[in-house]
Structure 1
Amino acid sequence: MTLQDIGFDHWFAAQTAELGSDGCGFARISAVDRGSYIIHDARREVPAELSGKLAYRIERPADLPCVGDWVTAQWYNNDTAAIIHQVFPRKSFLRRKTPGEAIEHQMIAANVDTAFLVQSCHFDFNPRRLERYVVMATDGNVEPVVLLTKTDLVTEEALETTLAIVRSVTTAQVMALCTITGSGFAALQQTLLPGKTYCLLGSSGVGKTTLVNRLVGQEAFATQAVSGTGEGIHTTTRRQLVVLQSGALLIDTPGMRELGLIGDGEEVDMGFEDIAALAERCRYADCRHAHEPGCAVRAAVELGELPKDRFESFVKLKKESAFYGMSQLEKRQKDKAFGRFVKSVKKRRKN
């Protein structure tokens, strides 16, 4: 196995001259758990820690290495452990707002080619949550693919209705799967290409770990029995990258309850392609689709061409993204002002 086999393509190779250093090699973060890291250099996986210099330079949690990141590392103790010295720029990423009141990004995974957005046909299906996942993927330059699981728990008519709803939410590819019968898995496996990185995103209990075990071909991760409603019990506790027999790389993630967005609102536009296309016909280029005359988006809602609940979801996500984005900007400005204050105090003390 080589670095190329675990995703080190030409984009990363072009940066090695700048990031390389004597005594160090390149590796990929394959697991993160409460500040502990495991790195993979195509030969082995070993535990790793941040160098003091790297830890000192990190200004915010999103700058810490996450699963999928490429790093420069130095091995020691007979190559059984390593120190991470530098992190490569990210080609793509999956991130969300940190859960709770904190206004920061939380990295989910980096350098992902395709995000599998997993929802159960039975208890979990939620088009509004799916919209958030689509926005998260497109914001990070990641291709979204929707996976509908537990198709055995619904009728064919109900499944067709669910598929129609998904297609009204996103133009992304959608696949229906059943872990009991194996239906849909052959088609899924054909999409998994060697050296490409895929990530599973979804709420707890929708069947992500079962999907991983079936794709790996063994019980790589523990699962628990489902409840009486068909809802699975959450088992994944950390983000982890595994290499499949096909050569594809798969990242499993713990279930996410909160999917807050941070930005200037443009990432929402990318996740709502139908509304973005309508907006191009608005009279004003900066139309907010509120009360402006000549708004093609509101006109589509009134004519029934655009579902009202989808438009309301779009407006809600735009406001949420803009609010947290502005809050984060203000926070950074305050942090910078405080940093300048500390430097000025140190300077006066020296004088």
Structure 2
Amino acid sequence: MTLEELGYRPDLENYRKSHNLEPFMIGRVASEHRERYHVQSEQGMLECELLGNLRFSAESRSDLPAVGDWVAMSPYDEGKALIHAVLPRYSILERQAVGKFGEKQIIATNIDVGIIVLSVNRDFNINRVERYLTLCHASGIEPMIILTKTDLITQPEVQQLLDRIRTRIPEVPLLAVSNLSGQGIDDLKKHILKGKTYCLLGSSGVGKSSLINSLSGEVRMEIGEISEMIDRGKHVTTHRELIPMVNGGILIDNPGMREVGITDGQSGLESTFGTIYALAGQCKFTDCTHTSEVGCAVLEAVRNGELDEQALENFHKMERENARFTTSIREKHKKDKIMGKMFKEVKAHRKRKKF
């Protein structure tokens, strides 16, 4: 594959030249395994590790390569190379780190379109879709929604689910597909553009692995057996991976995410819940919380059936979560500043004692 087919852009080449990286090979991180990376290059797939200086100079995990990153590297053995630098990212898809409130976890980088996958059965959850939408909007990534496993229900039932999604989320591209029958797959392929990068987002068992097999034109992913009790496939994806598609696009698969915690995503909330923010401008009070106030245009819209009550509840929940995350970040920065000041004072005191 050429770099352009992998999604390489002119601005990246300009950066490479302006930062004296021309002597190095360029590749794209396809997968990561405990600080060892598989990097796709024009010479093929290389097994890479980080140059020591790059690892030790990193201030946080976000400074290290992630799936989707472009890296500059030098070969040192057959099929192996050292990563010297990470090129600038034009988008970073991230969520709140699981079990680490106030910290972020990178899902993937340099994404053009986030494909949000939900199935017609147990995993149908519009609230969760709005969470993924917020992550995409906050990262400047174009979202698309795919409803899978349509062969499990009748066509009228499929249409009812599509209508429910469109009522809550009217402006995002929405397609219904069946990997079993192939229905809708050709329409989906028309949305896949050469050189663009797409990231699959969704819970375990919604049909992402089957979708990858359909879009890549080969059986690349193992498909978990269907559990009769919960009517969904078992989770089989264990790590993020970059996969070429038949139409020339690049797909990044993700393990199913049980938790989709939003980070500092105020802009993402405003895009996802644009209707609520527009209505808020008509409220009687400028500091209206849209919970119980007289003259609240948002609550009036719910009473009139113009706004879905569940959408408002989900908005309140995510807004509170965003506020807590922002507060945690401020507190963390404050503590880091205090610790940094104490460290400097101790260092200065020890220096004075020497003399």
Band the TM-score falls in, shorter-chain normalisation: over 0.9
- The amino acid of 1:126's aligned partner reads N
Alpha-carbon separation, structure 1, partners of 2:305 and 2:20: 57
CA apart distance, 1:150:
0.5
CA apart distance, 1:255:
0.3
Alpha-carbon separation, structure 1, partners of 2:26 and 2:315: 41
Which structure 1 segments of 5+ residues have no match? none
| 2:290 is aligned with 1:289 | yes
Q: What is the number of residues matched between the two proteins?
A: 350
CA apart distance, 1:22:
6.0
Alpha-carbon separation, structure 2, partners of 1:118 and 1:43: 33
C-alpha contact 2:30 2:241 (8 A) present in aligned 1: yes
Alpha-carbon separation, structure 1, partners of 2:326 and 2:233: 34
CA apart distance, 1:25:
2.7
- The amino acid of 2:34's aligned partner reads R
Alpha-carbon separation, structure 2, partners of 1:346 and 1:75: 41
- The amino acid of 2:50's aligned partner reads L
C-alpha contact 2:135 2:265 (8 A) present in aligned 1: no
CA apart distance, 1:15:
2.1
CA apart distance, 1:214:
1.6
Specify whether residues 338 and 181 from structure 1 end up closer, same or farther in structure 2 by C-alpha distance, changes over 3 A only.
Answer: same
Specify whether residues 343 and 300 from structure 1 end up closer, same or farther in structure 2 by C-alpha distance, changes over 3 A only.
Answer: same
Specify whether residues 283 and 56 from structure 1 end up closer, same or farther in structure 2 by C-alpha distance, changes over 3 A only.
Answer: farther
**Counterpart of 1:271?**
272
Alpha-carbon separation, structure 2, partners of 1:302 and 1:20: 62
Specify whether residues 298 and 212 from structure 1 end up closer, same or farther in structure 2 by C-alpha distance, changes over 3 A only.
Answer: same
**Counterpart of 2:110?**
111
TM-score, length of structure 2 as denominator length: 0.92
CA apart distance, 1:157:
2.4
- The percent of aligned pairs where both chains have the same amino acid is 38
C-alpha contact 1:49 1:82 (8 A) present in aligned 2: yes
C-alpha contact 2:134 2:265 (8 A) present in aligned 1: no
List aligned pairs for 1:42-57, cutoff 5 A: 42-57=42-57
Alpha-carbon separation, structure 1, partners of 2:119 and 2:220: 21
Alpha-carbon separation, structure 1, partners of 2:5 and 2:321: 39
Alpha-carbon separation, structure 2, partners of 1:287 and 1:41: 54
C-alpha contact 1:122 1:230 (8 A) present in aligned 2: yes
Q: Deviations over 1:264-285 (max 9, x none)?
A: 6332112112223323434566
List aligned pairs for 1:329-344, cutoff 5 A: 329-344=330-345
Task: Please give the root-mean-square deviation of Cα atoms over the aligned residues, in Å.
Answer: 2.0
TM-score, length of structure 1 as denominator length: 0.93
Specify whether residues 209 and 16 from structure 1 end up closer, same or farther in structure 2 by C-alpha distance, changes over 3 A only.
Answer: same
Alpha-carbon separation, structure 1, partners of 2:176 and 2:261: 27
Alpha-carbon separation, structure 2, partners of 1:215 and 1:114: 15
**Counterpart of 1:65?**
65
Alpha-carbon separation, structure 1, partners of 2:58 and 2:286: 39
CA apart distance, 1:215:
1.4
Specify whether residues 4 and 317 from structure 1 end up closer, same or farther in structure 2 by C-alpha distance, changes over 3 A only.
Answer: same
CA apart distance, 1:293:
5.9
Alpha-carbon separation, structure 2, partners of 1:200 and 1:20: 34
Q: What is the DSSP-based 3-state SS (H/G/I as helix, E as strand, rest coil) of the residue aligned with 1:3?
A: coil
Which structure 2 segments of 5+ residues have no match? none
